[in-house]
Structure 1
Amino acid sequence: MTETRKAPTGILGFPTAPFNEQGNIDEQALAANIKFLIDSGLSSIFIACGSGEFHALNKAEYQTMLEVAVAVTNKKVPVYSGVGGSIAEAVELVRLSEDLGVDGYLILPPYLIEGEQEGLYNYYKTIVGSSDLNAILYQRDNAVLQLPTVKRLLDEYPQIVGIKDGHGNMELNLELTQTIGNRVEWLNGMPFAEITMPAYKGIGFNSYSSAISNYLPHVSRLYFDALRQGNDQLANEIYLDVLLPINYIRKQRKGYAVSLIKAGMNIMGFPVENSVRPPCVPVEQEHYQQLKNIIEETLEKYPAQQREVSNS
């Protein structure tokens, strides 16, 4: 990969879509969210993707979110948009993203239909071929590419710079990473990616999308640095103290992968209400209090001004 054809690495930022009391995008809250992620050292901003409730945005709201992201980042870090839906809609969003000045895009799974590999190849071919922007393919749900399809796309389109995995098939991941190597960047996109990162790190995944970075970025950074530096004791402590308890709450209700982020941000005092659009549901009071307790205990044991990770 050349410098211009390089996907973001490290901890990837996925802002939410904050809504005001009228149910519209709160641009100031979104700007604060993005600025916080950048100031916390995250390597990139992925706007209007899963955490940003791509599924629930109209085109005007989508455009607003991209415009805010491009303005706030001001080229400090790369900005990637989420695109998907029908082929026509995905191509339209790619072109809009290009016009607004984003650096690339993440292709979300197509709606409903589970296609054959040839159908998926043509879906991605049509989208990626519509622009010279950097593209990242997303393995999850009804869009899981096998090795021959991936190789075919990579041979034809140099603008594909990354593959994000949210499917969790480690046999397939090994087949892909060992065969394709560093032709692309490998991104862990599993729900609450910190939970699976110890396994993904060992097979060539050097990046992950972080949900808790929206409210506990220093913990995500401390954990990631511990993994990279081989500090297994600290990584395991954070895993048991913070990650597993939060993940337990996340699994209590469908859609909590999105709404629990907003709850955590709300607890930390960010201007984001505990509100999501259907079919997601807001975090229930019992679970909200459980998350609040975990965050308070985390901040006590792992304060924001945590010392640098060492192996001593």
Structure 2
Amino acid sequence: MRFSGALTALVTPFRHNVVDEDAFRVLIERQISEGIHGLVPCGTTGESATLSHEEHERVIEICIDQVKGRVPVLAGAGSNNTSEAVRLTCFAQKAGADGALLITPYYNKPTQEGLYRHYKAIAEAVDLPLVPYNVPGRTGCNLLPPTVSRLARDFPNIVGIKEATGDIPQCSRLLAACPKKFIVLSGDDLTALPLMALGGKGIISVTSNVTPGLVAEMCNALAAGDLQKAARLHLSLFALHDVMFAETNPIPAKTALALMGLISDEMRLPLCPMDEANKNKLIDVLHAQGMLD
């Protein structure tokens, strides 16, 4: 299965408001060396909303170049403008991505029929594997299981979904409605284990920016049928999952990586540095996890 296990929603490091290409390559190598199963550049965690079109394309190119086929690259290519999403997805295919992650159109608040037609337009423009991304808390719309099932059955290149509602009953309906080969990936670290226990195939993780090895190990345990080990790893990571969302993602993830000396502590407005009280909580958790000296 091309997209399964632990895939990291990569941060985009900046230095002096420019994409830090060297730091990004170091992050990618660290991910692969610790056993990650796939990488996702230019998603929400990658601050895609504040990247220029040129930066967006360059970040995808760097990731594909650095990975060199060792793990799948699922490139963020979504937009609330369907024609723009088509253009970005065509670029991802031309650049050599293994698939494209496509967020539901934000702000527009389309109907279910509008969502279907949005993904239909993209699916008909490329032959790249496509993974819609459902995160109503950010977009204001919810891609419901009947619509996902319709897309999965009508378009063979719509191969899965990143489901980030954190709503386990909706995830259950989704798994029941879609073909068995359809890939359901959790987009929520806090509820990834129960979704995978129900039949989900993995996680597009924020926490794995910080600790890719442990998130990958949890997914490996589930794939091997060792629910007890997976649950133990999930619980050991739970405090880190919690603090990764103490403020808007990717503020905590970037702060953690900066504390670990891997990137500069820089994000783009309207995101801003982490509140000191939350940063101290993050430091405590990182110490407890053995991530800081």
Unaligned runs of 5+ in 1: 1-5, 304-312
Q: Which has the larger radius of gyration?
A: 1
Q: Distance in 1 between matches of 2:70 and 2:246?
A: 37
- 279, 293, 301: which one pairs with 2:284? 293
Give the superposition deviation at 1:234: 7.5
Distance in structure 2 (CA, Å) of the matches to 1:98 and 1:248: 35
User: Hey, what's the Cα distance between the residues in 1 that align with 2:243 and 2:37?
Assistant: 27
**Residue in 2 aligned with 1:3?**
none
Distance 1:151 1:17, change over 3 A: same
For residue 74 of structure 1, the aligned residue among 68, 72, 79 is 68
- Three-state SS of the structure 1 residue aligned to 2:15 is coil
* Structure-2 change in CA distance of 1:98 and 1:26 (3 Å): same
Are 1:32 and 2:26 an aligned pair?
Answer: yes
Task: Mark the CA change 1:42 to 1:288 in structure 2 (over 3 Å): closer, same or farther.
Answer: same
Q: Is the counterpart of residue 266 in structure 1 residue 258 in structure 2?
A: yes
Offset of 1:296 from its aligned partner?
Answer: 1.8
* Count of equivalent residues: 288
**Shift in Å, 1:117:** 1.0
- Distance of 1:238 and 1:49 partners within structure 2: 23
**8 Å contact 2:34–2:213 — kept in the other structure?**
yes
- Give 1:98 shift: 1.4
Answer yes or no: is 1:210 the counterpart of 2:201. Answer: no
Deviation track 1:23-51 (CA, whole Å, cap 9, x = no partner) reads 01000011111111111111111111111
List, as ranges, runs of 4+ consecutive aligned residues in structure 1 with deviation greater than 4 Å: 225-229
Aligned-partner Cα distance in 2 for 1:57–1:12: 21
Q: Give me the whole-angstrom Cα distance separating, in 2, the residues matched to 1:118 and 1:182.
A: 24
Shift of 1:238: 5.6
Matching residue within 172, 195, 198 for 1:200: 195
Alpha carbons of structure 1 residues 113 and 208: separation in structure 2 relative to 1, 3 Å: same
**RMSD between superposed Cα atoms in Å:** 2.3
Identity of aligned pairs, percent?
A: 25
After TM superposition, the score normalised by the length of structure 1 is 0.85
TM-score (norm 2): 0.90
Cα deviation for residue 227 of structure 1 reads 5.0
Shift of 1:218: 2.7
| 1:94 aligned residue | 89
